[in-house]
A = this chain, B = another copy of it.
Amino acid sequence: MSKKRLSIVDIANNLNISKTTVSFILNGRAKEKRISTEMVDKVLKYVKEVGYKPNSLAKSLRTGKSNTIGLIVEDISNPFFGSIARLIEDRAYKNGYKIIYCSTYNDMQKTRDMINMFRDRHVDGYIIAPPQGVEEDIASLINESMPVVLFDRYLPTIDTDYVVVNNQFSAYNATQYLVGQGYKNIALITFANDQTQMVDRIRGYQMALKEHGLKQLIKELPFAEDLTESITAFLKSRKGIDAVLFGTNRDATYGIKIMHNLGIRIPEDIAVISFDDSDAFELHSPPITTVAQPVEDMAEHIITILLDKLNNNGVGTKNQSIVLHTDLVVRGSSQPVKK
């Protein structure tokens, strides 16, 4: 049972032909090389029979292609990234690509290490939700004409493909909506970093408030494992708040838990809107209004662009910036203020 794996040489020997012939047949170049149909059939039959599998490592070494895509997300256990990963994986496999993945937790050093590891492993292309500080590494990837697609956020100083959503408008729109519902003291609670999606969300929030002459109230969360303390402190100290927009699902999940603990009622005491939709928000009582990102579309665009580059060898294809639109999913957590 535990036979040694056969190589192309073994099968050539057993059939008394050359390994070149086998190689050509296996790679579907029989026609091109005008190999006789009988030969082809014989080889194919034998290969099936003995269950021969080519050694993809050797193939990769020779061809320089690994048929692997490196997927770098922020946190695979976050449903937003999990869903995207799942969809990308599916499409990739259907096109003969495997996925190697990792989570960065927005850690620049870890991300750089991972990029290097992936480079080491000769991945054919990269899909990255980049933290700040990896511009150089990504630039050098691109320099080596590696296909790189960024998503969720992009790097302003790097010219490459990316797929994001219209974060600024989305935040603007969500805030406008809260104002329209009668809220006057709208806070933004969000993880603070310089990533484009965050900057844009903050800007959108600010624009909406400015438009109505309302006061801004931004709580920038620290880079921390646990956000309980900082959010609790904020919510306790600011008694006037009547609505909160959360910058990410993670922030909101913490925030809502804390509101429960503090006995803050949603939306009677504080209305809530979060970025990123999820079951948790839909199930909540009252259900949470969210800015839903079009996860399927994002994944679809990301993988399509990447496969395109992979197939065209990156030649002649212009970089694309895809900006998708979100949906404001209105639910009970943002009901009109009752007088």
Chain B residue contacts of A234, Cβ below 8 A: none
For the complex formed, measure the closest distance between the CB of A118 and the CB atoms of chain B, giving whole angstroms: 8
Known A-B contacts A102-B99, A116-B53, A283-B253; A76 and B89 likewise in contact (beta carbons under 8 Å): yes
3 closest Cβ pairs, A-B complex: A285-B285, A280-B280, A77-B82
Cβ–Cβ contact B93 & A86, under 8 A: no
A29 to B101, CA, bound (A): 31
Tell me whether A117 is interfacial, beta carbon within 8 Å: yes
Which of the segments A20-28, A119-127, A186-194 contacts the partner chain?
Answer: A119-127
A90 to B114, CA, bound (A): 12
Tell me whether A100 is interfacial, beta carbon within 8 Å: yes
> Which residue of B is nearest A92, CB measured?
B102
- Most B CB contacts (10 A, CB to CB) among A78, A116, A279, A285 go to A279
Known A-B contacts A2-B144, A102-B99; A75 and B66 likewise in contact (beta carbons under 8 Å): no
Tell me whether A230 is interfacial, beta carbon within 8 Å: no
For the complex formed, measure the closest distance between the CB of A71 and the CB atoms of chain B, giving whole angstroms: 9
Chain A positions 62 through 86: 1 when the CB is less than 8 Å from some CB of chain B, otherwise 0: 0000101000000111110011011
Tally of contact residues, A, Cβ under 8 A: 52
Chain B residue contacts of A323, Cβ below 8 A: none
Cβ–Cβ contact B103 & A53, under 8 A: no
A residues with CB within 8 A of B: 1-2, 53-58, 60-61, 66, 68, 75-79, 82-83, 85-86, 89-90, 93, 98-103, 114, 116-117, 119-122, 140, 143-145, 253, 256-257, 260, 278-280, 282-285
Cβ–Cβ contact A284 & B284, under 8 A: yes
Cβ–Cβ contact B89 & A102, under 8 A: yes
> Which residue of B is nearest A110, CB measured?
B93
Cβ–Cβ contact A1 & B140, under 8 A: yes
Cβ–Cβ contact B83 & A77, under 8 A: yes
Chain B residue contacts of A58, Cβ below 8 A: 61
Chain B residue contacts of A54, Cβ below 8 A: 120
For the complex formed, measure the closest distance between the CB of A224 and the CB atoms of chain B, giving whole angstroms: 17
Chain B residue contacts of A85, Cβ below 8 A: 76-77
Cβ–Cβ contact A122 & B57, under 8 A: yes
Cβ–Cβ contact A79 & B76, under 8 A: no
Chain B residue contacts of A77, Cβ below 8 A: 79, 82-83, 85-86
Cβ–Cβ contact A98 & B117, under 8 A: yes
> Which residue of B is nearest A285, CB measured?
B285
Chain B residue contacts of A100, Cβ below 8 A: 68, 98-100
